[in-house]
Amino acid sequence: MGRNAKPIDLHIAGGNPNRLTKAQIQARKEGEVKLGKTELEKLKPPVFVKDDTVAFAHWKQCMKDYKAAAAEGVNLLSSSDVGLLAMYCRTYSEYEKLLKQYQKIERISIEDYVFDEYFEELTRKAEEAEEDLNEYGLRAQKYLSQLASLEGVLKIETAINKKMDMLLKMQDRLFLNPLSKVKNVPKPKEQEKAPSKFGKFGANRSG
């Protein structure tokens, strides 16, 4: 997934580091269909986001950040990226669900006593019923149960890593990473006042 060009408003606020000409800046502005505060107020999430509690909460947070940026005169979201934003929110929800599953399975794999208690109970019942219990079969069953648990952990770890990679790429594409820094975007420098001709005499005076 390729990275979009930095929004021209953000580029200019950063001091126009690439030294774009007025014509280039105008061309970039005309080519960007950015959503300002008014358009963002009217923007609604698709049904698959609204019906997902986590995804919808994340959508509202993103909208809050985009509106804050727009209030500073920096419009980051384009109409063509709305679909991607919806996918991002849904992916974030899936990522959270995977984390919860991982915590449950990891707890089972770490707490070996769960298996011990289960198989000890099997042994006790077999003794009470005076039934033979295949000790080697029991050990094999316990080993396979632990192995299955470990395999489940590894599979979910892989899925979590893939989701995280997708989220980072989408964040980059949607300019979500710098949103928290918008308030720190360099503002136009105020014209410096000419120093007083007497200033140099008191500049280094102590006390």
Angle among Cα 47, 77, 167 to the nearest 5 degrees reads 65
pTM of the model: 0.57
Closest CA to 82 of 56, 45, 36, 28: 45
The predicted model gives 52-59 an average pLDDT of: 96
| Residue 109 banded pLDDT, cuts 50, 70, 90 | low
Please give the residue that has the higher pLDDT: either 45 or 79: 45
163, 98 Cβ separation under 8 angstroms = yes
Q: Is the pLDDT of residue 87 over 70?
A: yes
Helix (H), strand (E), coil (C) string for 117-153: HHHHHHHHHHHHCCCCCCHHHHHHHHHHHHHHHHHHH
Q: Is the pLDDT of residue 143 over 80?
A: no
Q: Is the pLDDT of residue 95 over 60?
A: yes
Domain residue extents for the chain: 8-17+27-184
11, 45 Cβ separation under 8 angstroms = no
The per-residue pLDDT for 176 is 84
pLDDT, mean over the chain: 72
Give the total residue count for the chain. Answer: 207
Q: Is 62 exposed, middle or buried (0-12, 13-18, 19+ CB in 10 A)?
A: buried
182, 92 Cβ separation under 8 angstroms = no
The per-residue pLDDT for 7 is 58
Q: Is the pLDDT of residue 96 over 90?
A: yes
Q: How large a percentage of the chain has pLDDT more than 70?
A: 53
77, 85 Cβ separation under 8 angstroms = yes
Q: Which residue has the tokens 């953000």?
A: 10
Q: Is the pLDDT of residue 145 over 80?
A: no
The encoded tokens of residue 122 equal 């099997």
Q: Is the pLDDT of residue 3 over 50?
A: no
The predicted model gives 161-172 an average pLDDT of: 88
| Residue 61 banded pLDDT, cuts 50, 70, 90 | very high
> pLDDT (tens digit, 9 = 90+) per residue, 4-24?
555 555 566 566 666 778 887
